[in-house]
């Protein structure tokens, strides 16, 4: 596995592969790999001849009071894990290589970023869209794989690629969960045993909503009341949002149907913000 740090060298490598007829799959990450990340890499390997994984903790998607400095990092571990699943290139630029002091361009996707996480994290999705555009321009992949745990991010990237005629296939990978149901996240490392139990309120809240909907409850108001009561009954939980949205527009709905996604954001122990989501009805 090659380690490339310079963007120009990354682009040169990709162009050389294209001259030999190879296809490239990109998995953008911020590192500290877990099985969820590795699943994305494996999927990219099944869909393309070569796999590039970018490892870049992007400062522009963190707010002033968020965990940029504390975000977990372990390059040696990440390198070994990526090599173990057959990644061809680990692209590891530094901040100076990705952002110059005189940059004036930001990529903004309207409407889709006004809801869910975007409502409480101003600038977050502009940071995501901008860095992903940069990565696409540098790596020049045929396809890119993103996890469905970040459902809003996936919708934003798909819309951006369509609107800007990028010609890159965007593939969503289903959420990878721990044995107890907790959605895999690098931020799970912040959880001690008691906080982890409270963190299960997200996946269990989703399971509750799906059971109630399966029994015939379609009112978003009633489902929200039930989920809110359940999550609030768990210690050290603070709900950021409980949203039932259309899977394409991300607009709130009042009645559940086959296109309805339940998205949750909950702070655990006052500082660990976790997200989760699922379609509400079976077969969606």
Tell me if residue 34 is catalytic: no
The DSSP line for 171-187 is EEEPPPB-TTSPBP-GG
Give the whole-angstrom CA distance, residue 200 versus residue 141: 36
Q: Exactly one of 34, 37, 115, 124 is catalytic; which is it?
A: 37
Give the whole-angstrom CA distance, residue 219 versus residue 197: 28
First to last CA, the chain: 38
Calculated CA dihedral for residues 85, 91, 95, 100, nearest 10 degrees: -150
Give the whole-angstrom CA distance, residue 10 versus residue 153: 24
Give the whole-angstrom CA distance, residue 15 versus residue 9: 10
Q: The tokens of 154 are what?
A: 């996936």
Active-site annotation, residues: 37
């Amino acid at each position: 596995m090659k380690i490339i740090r310079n963007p120009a060298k990354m682009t040169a490598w990709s162009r050389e592969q294209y001259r030999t007829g190879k296809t490239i799959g990109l998995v953008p990450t911020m590192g500290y790999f877990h099985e969820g990340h590795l699943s994305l890499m494996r999927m990219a390997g099944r869909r393309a001849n070569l796999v590039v994984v970018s490892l870049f903790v992007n400062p522009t998607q963190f707010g002033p009071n968020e965990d940029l400095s504390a975000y977990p990092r372990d390059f040696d571990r990440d390198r070994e894990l990526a090599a173990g699943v057959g990644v061809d290139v680990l692209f590891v630029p530094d901040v100076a290589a990705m952002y110059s002091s005189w940059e004036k361009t930001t990529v903004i996707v309207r409407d889709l970023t006004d809801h869910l996480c975007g409502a409480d994290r101003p600038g977050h999705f502009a940071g995501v869209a901008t860095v992903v555009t940069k990565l696409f321009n540098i790596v020049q992949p045929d396809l890119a794989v993103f996890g469905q745990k970040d459902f809003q991010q996936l919708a934003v990237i798909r819309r951006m690629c369509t609107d800007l005629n990028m010609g890159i296939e965007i593939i969503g990978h289903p959420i990878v969960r721990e044995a107890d149901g907790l959605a895999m996240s690098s931020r799970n490392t912040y959880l001690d045993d008691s906080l982890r139990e409270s963190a299960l309120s997200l996946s269990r809240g989703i399971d509750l909503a799906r059971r109630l909907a399966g029994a015939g409850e379609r009112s978003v108001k009633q489902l929200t009341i039930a989920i809110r009561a359940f999550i609030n009954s768990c210690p050290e939980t603070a709900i950021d949002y409980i949203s039932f949205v259309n899977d394409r527009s991300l607009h709130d709905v009042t009645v559940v149907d086959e296109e309805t996604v339940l998205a949750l954001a909950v702070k655990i122990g006052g500082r660990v913000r976790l997200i989760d989501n699922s379609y509400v009805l079976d077969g969606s």
